[in-house]
Amino acid sequence: MDDLSFYKGKRVLLTGHTGFKGMWLTLLLLKAGAEVTGFSLDAPTEGGREALRRLGILKEIRDVRGDVRDLAALSRAFHETRPEVVFHLAAQPIVRESYRQPVDTFAANVMGTVNVLECIRTSDTVRSALIVTTDKVYENKEWAWGYRENEPLMGYDPYSASKSCAEIAVYSYRQSFLAAQDVRISTARAGNVIGGGDFAPDRIIPDCIRAAVRGQTIDIRNPHSTRPYQHVLEPLSVYLTIAARQTECAGLVGAWNVGPDDADCVTTGELADIFCRTWGAGVRWEAQADGGPHEAHFLKLDCSKIKSGLGWKPRWHIVEAVEKTVEWAKAWEQGADMRVVTEGQLHDFGAAPKLVEILLL
């Protein structure tokens, strides 16, 4: 393969296609020539719904609205679509929301994943699947080195714990059913992602953009907390690579960390500094502790496995990632053609028109 020809003509089912990462992945799959079915609730924010409208991608796919907690509805989508490849992104993804709604978080992230796994188990067409979890699945000991894929899983908060449970469910289904059916299924544990089109509350870059647009000072809750920040196209390129390559090599099935280089694991305050310099216009931030629930202070991933096993390396470092995010946000505010802007960023990343550098490095 010298491009994303693996996906050309493939029937792909993507849960969570109306979300931030799902929106970008849908566009990538369309560029690759896949026959895409999206299964998701409506986008959770007004900005997200408007982004989908301005990008126009829902008109080019089979757009199915449904809840992954509803096994019957999900089963119908599988039966009608007969997917060959599955990407499971649908989730309740906000840590602080998981404290407010723990039951809903566990229901969506654990039983939603189990329902996807059950649909894969009972399908006679699925050959490859990628389940997206998070870098927060690990038992966080606040140490300075990155967690490896064989570290203990024990998320602290309801969101992280629910994703740890999802990892165990995937392992169980793989060992109990899917390996014998020759269905290749892996999990991807991605770090914190940034990029255009994220309108979620309680996320650092969307909060920065909202404040900058309004001419307000940016409030930073935990300026000394370290996270593995990366542009959204970094993990998405890996998701596509894993799902394609594991069909040819069963030895690639398993869990994969997807994070930036150590130099891009910055504190929230450092990230805010980069944002302010990039946005300009005198934007500034200040620390504003709000007495919220526990959040990890230090979190970093060891991505040695994916670098050695898939030959992968990050393309955009943190400054470039913030620059591209600001570029997208300013174009949005100016009423630009966001399909053109977004596809332009795919091109800049090396993702279009030829995708060789993503899929086969």
Domain locations in the chain? 5-359
Q: 10-residue block means of pLDDT along the chain (361 residues)? A: 76 98 97 97 96 97 98 98 98 95 98 98 98 96 90 96 98 98 97 94 94 96 90 96 95 96 90 98 90 75 94 93 98 98 94 44 38
Question: Both tokens of residue 261?
Answer: 């280089």
Closest CA to 53 of 23, 31, 29: 23
Write down the pLDDT at residue 254: 98
Containing 282, the helix (H) or strand (E) segment is: none
For residue 188, give the 3-state DSSP assignment: strand
Please give the Cα distance from 239 to 242 (Å, whole number): 5
Provide CB contacts within 8 A for 56, sequence distance 6+: 339
CB 21 within 8 A of CB 48: no
Cis before residue 353, ω within 30 degrees of 0? Answer: yes
Is residue 126 within 8 Å of residue 181, measured between CB atoms? no
Give me the CATH topology for the region 5-359.
Answer: Rossmann fold (3.40.50)
Instruction: Indicate the DSSP class of residue 177.
Output: I
Q: What is the pLDDT at residue 61?
A: 98
Return the pLDDT at 143. Answer: 86
Residue that the structure tokens 């970008």 belong to: 24
pLDDT the model gives residue 291: 61
Instruction: State whether residue 64 is helix, strand or coil.
Output: strand
- Taking CA atoms, 42 is separated from 59, 159, 184, 204, in Å, by 15, 20, 29, 23
Residue 290: what pLDDT?
Answer: 66
